[in-house]
């Protein structure tokens, strides 16, 4: 792991009309670092993730990825989106494509890669997330946990430099949460740069290098997980933790 910054937000502000959803956010994520973002509903966690791959434009401040300001449009934006993979709460797989086709489609359509090479990479990614034997099935034939693992394989197929996860296990039945967190934990160990919005405090404790607590659009405090959970400093973090732990 290096200390070189991959994702840097400086004085970022975002309003939805009168609502100040990102209020002077400063955050730097190093290459290979895993940052878990927690906070109450409506605090701006999803907006923060979406701002990083420019699904949401910001009103002021700067965001840089791998040393460059986020591009606003065109091919540079398409490249950014392929370098910053995103995994959502809802898996958003194409229902009428097989699992394998779902994983192959990004590299072929967006990056114009040759299908033979992509197929090989897609199969090895499906193997890595433990579902190579489901490759010819359709999403509806898989459990939620399996579908979310396909969504992770699909993001990895673009060979991203970072992955953003927005509550990836919130829509899953409890018995399927572990299999998705296991895949995420192994990615973290392998050095993937990850920003993870989650309510899974076990994952935060074990896989995160840093926990970031947001409330009302502000990044209220950040600390290594052991320190944050043992000794939250702000009243808002204490209050939040008392409700969820
Ligand atoms: P979180 O993910 O922490 O629950 P969000 O980033 O989704 O928070 O939302 C932050 C605030 O912005 C919430 O009050 C939400 O209702 C509001 N919001 C989110 N997206 C939009 C939008 N497209 N238009 C208007 N308000 C929005
Ligand atoms: Mg959210």
The residue among 196, 200, 222 whose CA lies nearest residue 211 is: 222
- Would you write out the chain's pLDDT as a tens digit for each of its 245 residues? 457 999 999 999 999 999 999 999 999 999 999 999 999 999 999 999 999 999 999 999 999 999 999 988 888 898 898 899 999 999 899 999 999 999 999 999 988 999 999 999 999 999 999 999 999 999 999 999 999 999 999 999 999 999 999 999 999 999 999 999 999 999 999 999 999 999 999 999 999 999 999 999 999 999 999 999 999 999 999 999 999 87
Nearest CA residue ID for atom 12, ligand 1: 21
Quote the ligand 1 centre to 113 CA distance (angstroms).
Answer: 36
Pocket of ligand 1 (CB under 6 A): 16, 19, 21, 39, 41-47
Q: Are strands 210-215 and 34-38 parallel, antiparallel or unpaired?
A: parallel
Quote the ligand 1 centre to 79 CA distance (angstroms).
Answer: 26
Nearest CA residue ID for atom 14, ligand 1: 42
Collapsing DSSP states into helix, strand and coil, what is residue 230? helix
Q: Which of 14, 37, 43, 47 to mutate to test the pocket of ligand 1 (most atoms within 8 A of CB)?
A: 47
Report pLDDT for 49.
96
- Spatial distance between the Cα atoms of 191 and 34, rounded to a whole number of angstroms: 8
Nearest CA residue ID for atom 1, ligand 1: 42
Report pLDDT for 108.
95
> Which atom of ligand 1 has the smallest separation from the CA of 214?
3
DSSP class of residue 51 equals H
35 conformational bin, left if phi > 0, alpha if psi -120 to 50, beta if neither: beta
Report pLDDT for 1.
46
Report pLDDT for 2.
54
Stated length of the chain: 245
Both tokens of residue 123?
């199969």
User: ipTM of this predicted complex?
Assistant: 0.98
Quote the ligand 1 centre to 47 CA distance (angstroms).
Answer: 6
- Spatial distance between the Cα atoms of 34 and 214, rounded to a whole number of angstroms: 16
Report pLDDT for 166.
97
Report pLDDT for 181.
97
């Amino acid at each position: 792991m290096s200390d070189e910054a991959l994702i840097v937000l400086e004085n970022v502000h975002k309003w939805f009309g009168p609502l100040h959803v990102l209020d002077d956010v400063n955050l730097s994520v190093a290459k290979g670092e895993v940052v878990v973002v927690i906070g109450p509903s409506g605090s701006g966690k999803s907006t923060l993730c979406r701002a990083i791959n420019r699904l949401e434009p910001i009103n002021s401040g700067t965001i840089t990825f791998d040393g460059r300001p986020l591009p606003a449009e065109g091919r540079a934006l398409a490249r950014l989106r392929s370098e910053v993979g995103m995994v959502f709460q809802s898996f958003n797989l194409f229902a009428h494509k097989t699992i394998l086709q779902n994983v192959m489609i990004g590299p072929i359509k967006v990056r114009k890669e040759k299908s033979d090479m992509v197929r090989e990479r897609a199969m090895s990614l499906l193997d890595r997330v433990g579902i190579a034997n489901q490759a010819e099935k359709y999403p509806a034939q898989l459990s939620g946990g399996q579908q979310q693992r396909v969504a992770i394989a699909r993001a990895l197929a673009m060979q991203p430099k970072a992955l953003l996860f927005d509550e990836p296990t919130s829509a899953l039945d409890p018995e399927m949460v572990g299999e998705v967190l296991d895949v995420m934990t192994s990615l973290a160990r392998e050095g993937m740069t990850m920003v993870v919005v989650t309510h899974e405090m076990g994952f935060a404790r074990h896989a995160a290098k840093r926990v970031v607590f947001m409330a009302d659009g502000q990044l209220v405090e950040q600390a290594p997980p052991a320190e944050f959970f043992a000794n939250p400093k702000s009243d808002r973090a204490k209050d939040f933790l008392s409700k969820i732990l």
